[in-house]
Structure 1
């Protein structure tokens, strides 16, 4: 009897532990390391491979706690360009070996969260896989040329009030002047993209100077926020195919131009956006014009009244943007420069 009673207490204790999950192995601990080629990860898609290189640069900077001055150097680290090269799927992410580099890093592990929409779903944990979304009632508000020391904080208050998020394409010179505001943009759940250093027409300055504009701005944004921007929006929407390949960041254009820069009129801004906006659109505005910022509350309220959900560019495009491609809306993308 005593032995049976003892066994019963042991069984109850084991059951309690199992229910609480104490002492049990997490699901990912059962995952074994698996070697894969980049061709397998990307289905031999060069744009996906470029996205992995983009994520690798961010991870190198993070892993080494690098300062902004190292942003240019990370672009020179030799990263895989051949589909036959191999990496390892681990419980924590994609592990890659690196060739000799100035950062003296031999190996990095890119978290799967940074590869969502970039590698094929079957190589990602279920929580990081993309799923089909309906964009019929989704739009993305975007604002160019900031941050402005007065107007951008005002706009951020509006976004917070109406519980919506936007994507800000900022110039490097304004980020360097207003780093706290750049941080506030991200702190509010919004996104920051690269809009060049001082707004030149890329088509007129050539590939080398275009890359310099982007790198310099990436450095300013990284210096201010601790993260590299994923997207680039070329000033005036102009970019060549060669520049798109050299930049190795997704290009974000727009499908609705508010023309707020031309009108400088609150009412016209509102009417232009409301007349042209449909589901899946990317709306272009500017947070350096008082009239545009003043128009934002009405635009947001009217769009929401029509049943639209206002989201970031990443959300609208389902996290599937790739370097070398330019995106005009939820279902409209082309090779950069075309």
Structure 2
């Protein structure tokens, strides 16, 4: 069982990873901005979001992006006992399989930058060999404003995995500038699978 925080390949690549939840109109705007910049990302989807908005998975995959598992209901997962923790992981996994035929490339724990030993263990039991954490937090979940989000993401360097959120208007506004900043620095935005390959 492996926790991935950042890549060590030395390639000039970064992975933007999005917590998958929220309004589909905002998701469409994010996907459109990514397409304009030729950027590909990883969306760690919340199971309840997928169940309520089954078009979301198709939209992400049709854009050339990848999906992963971000629990069923996004609880403070590290506080859960093993069995309910595994149920959170497996319910989202099963929803991904039903919608896409795949359990997703990665699991990411909810409400924690790094996976606990128990989260790693239960994700492994649910069939995930890789847990995708991150080294850069965009802080977009705090709604600090587009300039602050862009500034936080500017700390990313080659190999970084950045945590962002769909469904946040500030993220949509910040994204073109973030993508332009990366291009100016010679950093290519790729899926997490490509980053760690």
Query: Normalising to structure 2: TM-score of the pair?
Result: 0.89
Alignment partner for residue 262 of structure 1, among 120, 127, 142?
A: 142
Taking the TM superposition and a 5 Å limit, the aligned residue runs for 1:107-118 are: none
Give the secondary-structure state (helix, strand or coil) at the position aligned to 1:279: coil
Taking the TM superposition and a 5 Å limit, the aligned residue runs for 1:106-185 are: 133-135=9-11, 137-146=12-21, 148-185=23-60
Mapped contact 1:147–1:181 kept (Cα < 8 A): no
Matched, 1:295 2:165: no
Give the secondary-structure state (helix, strand or coil) at the position aligned to 1:235: coil
Deviation at 1:133, TM superposition (A): 4.8
What corresponds to 1:312 in structure 2? 191
When the two chains are superposed, the root-mean-square deviation of aligned CA atoms in Å is 1.8
User: What is the number of residues matched between the two proteins?
Assistant: 187
- List runs of 5+ in structure 1 lacking aligned partners: 1-46, 49-131, 319-338
What corresponds to 1:225 in structure 2? 100
Query: Normalising to structure 1: TM-score of the pair?
Result: 0.53
With a CA cutoff of 8 Å and minimum separation of 6, indicate the structure with the bigger relative contact order. Answer: 2
Give the secondary-structure state (helix, strand or coil) at the position aligned to 1:168: strand
Larger deviation, residues 200-209 vs 233-242: 233-242
Mapped contact 1:196–1:213 kept (Cα < 8 A): yes
Mapped contact 2:21–2:49 kept (Cα < 8 A): yes
- List runs of 5+ in structure 2 lacking aligned partners: 3-7
Structure having the higher Rg: 1
Question: Runs ≥4 in structure 1, deviation > 6 angstroms?
Answer: none
Take 1:312 and 1:162, find their aligned partners in 2: how far apart are those partners? 14
Take 1:280 and 1:243, find their aligned partners in 2: how far apart are those partners? 24
Alignment partner for residue 123 of structure 2, among 230, 242, 247?
A: 247
Take 1:133 and 1:205, find their aligned partners in 2: how far apart are those partners? 34
Take 1:314 and 1:203, find their aligned partners in 2: how far apart are those partners? 25
Deviation at 1:243, TM superposition (A): 3.1
